[in-house]
Structures are given as C-alpha cells and as structure tokens.
Amino acid sequence: MSISKPNRSLPLEIIQETSIIEKQGIQLFNRRKFRECIKYYKKMLDLFKQKQEAIGRPIHKGTPYHMIGVCYTGLNEHNEALKYILLAYIEDTLNSNFDNETEADGTPAGQMLLNYYFVSPEFLVTIKKYVYQLKKSGKWTSTFNPEEILDIILHKCSVSPEELIFKLPEVSQTSIPETPQSEEFGFPEPWEKRVFIGGSYQTHMAVLRYIEKVVESLGFKPVVAFDVQMPKDLTHHHTLLLLHTCKYAIFEISSPAGQYMEIERTIDYETKSLLLYSIMSSDGYPSKSVSSMIQTMKQIKKQGYLTFKEIDSIVKDFLQN
C-alpha cells in the first residue's frame, strides 16, 4: 500500500522567528542554564502549535520536544525528561514515511529512550504500530498532537511514564587513585591522566556523560569543554587549549558539530584519539551523518557501538591498552 507522507515542514513565515528562539535557547543550553533554556524551547513549541492550527496542517515538533527533554535530563528530572523525549519520538514516527516508523529508533530521541533510559523496545513497538495504523486509516494529515497519542499508549499499556524507566546507566566503579598536584602544568592531575571528551551536546549529551563516567571510573580525568567557563568569543581557542592539555581524546561523531576541527588538531598535537559512532544495526555500518572525510581518516581509531555496554568495553580497551 502506497501512502504519501503529508507536508509537515516548517512554514517559511516562521523560520526566522524559530531561528532566533533556537539561537537563544542553544546559548543558554551551552551555559548549562537548563531551566531558562526550557522556556525558550517551550516558546518554540507554542509557536509551532499555534501556527499548525492556523494553517490547518501539522508541523514536525521533534526538535523542541527533544531539547526540552534533554534539559530535564540535565536537571535530573527524569520523569519530565522521559515524557518529552517520548513526545519527540512520536513526532519522529509521524515524520517518517509510511511503514518506515522504525527510522525513529535511530533518531536522537530514539537512541536516548533505548540506550539511556532503557525503555522497553516492546513499548516503542506499540507506539510504532499505533502510528502505522493511524497513517493507514487516513488520519495522518489531521494528527496535530503527540500528547494525545502518548496518553492513549500509556493507557493501553497500563503504565505511567516513570514505570517505563528500567534503570539509568551504571558503570563499574573502581577505586580512583589519588594523584599529586602537577606544578609544571598547573592541573590537579598529570597530563597522561587527562582525557578530552567531545561531540554534539545537543544530540548526544547522554552518550558524552556516559563516556565521562566510564573515563572517571578508570582513574582518568575527563575534560568536557561544555563544563568549562570561557569567553563566548574565544570558545574555539580555549577548547583547543583544553585539548592540548590531554594525552587522550574521545569523540562521539554520530552528529556533526564543532568536533571535526578538534579531531584534525589531535593529529598535530599527537593526542591518542578514539572516534565513536552509533550504528543502526549489527552490520556495523555507521550513522548516515558520519562524514566520509572522518570515515577515511586512517590515523585515528574509529569504532561503532549499538549499546552503552559496548561503549564501556571500547573505552576501557582504549585507555588500558
């Protein structure tokens, strides 16, 4: 059965306003002002909802739902985080082509649900089947509100959002040896114990935080530029300075961001580096967003992962061998 995907794109007349709101939100996000950031993405969400009612067709709202969820994750308010990330996931199933709802599993929302919050895959299958039937019934063009779908699914499965969380990621803890103050470099740990961690904060913050926990559990010092206060106009300069103080670097490269320039510099700095990327299936192929330039860099070790458990093993092998 061939069912055409309806137009769910952002109307041209609100693109500029959306861009301004998102720029303000991202600035707050990068400064870890998550509560204030939520206000801007809720403002974007309200704009989308008002506009879709005015034009009589749905607008894809995955970005604001997902970013609100990520901010709540940063605030450790996981029930709220899970609700918004589920709403983003439903939006992603609605935005996929008919009978291709599984594409949502590879989106940032899908990856957070599966690999960070460990939501039951069966629950996500229930969502995908419901959306499939909704599209098949001819209601695709009149589906504006993912909250209604989530309420139906939760009622159908007789669960509350908090009951969906199987467990938050845990890493095996080892004793972290005390290291003397290094007067030569001015850091509380020697250069050979510092590990730079980079990637897209907007799409893979959960993965970067997990890598940070694994690195710390092995007795190394994780260095995340996101956590370091630096002048806005010198962000690039200061980030490279931080990179230069580390013997090791681990980058998540599934989504393109500022890490590509940093990766190039690791060769100049002779930093021992590891590039991690999510793979969509056991065939080992990387996410489509990983550039061919990165894939063909032979000087740097690259490895794909399907689960957080695999990240744990890969990072341990990288730092201990």
Last residue of a domain, one of 129, 164, 199: 164
Dump pLDDT digits (tens) for 135-174: 999 999 999 999 999 999 998 888 876 677 654 444 444 4
- Residue 182 resides in a domain: no
Greatest extent of the chain over all pairs of C-alpha atoms, in Å: 70
pLDDT score at 312: 92
- Percent of the chain, pLDDT > 90? 44
Question: Which range of residues forms the domain containing residue 155?
Answer: 12-164
Please, what sign has the CA dihedral across residues 239, 243, 246, 251? Answer: positive
Average pLDDT over residues 272-282: 79
Residue 108 confidence (pLDDT) above 50: yes
pLDDT score at 231: 61
Report d(CA 154, CA 162) in Å as an integer. 11
In this structure, the answer to whether residues 154 and 236 fall within a common structural domain is no
With beta carbons less than 8 A apart as the criterion, state whether 229 and 253 touch.
no
Of all helices (H) and strands (E), which one includes residue 196? strand 194-198
Closest C-alpha to 134, from 88, 94, 85: 94
Residue 279 confidence (pLDDT) above 60: yes
- Residue 55 resides in a domain: yes
Report d(CA 271, CA 84) in Å as an integer. 38
Residue 56 confidence (pLDDT) above 90: yes
In this structure, the answer to whether residues 201 and 156 fall within a common structural domain is no
Last residue of a domain, one of 148, 164, 180: 164
Dump pLDDT digits (tens) for 168-205: 444 444 443 444 444 444 455 788 999 999 888 777 87
- Single pTM value for the model: 0.63
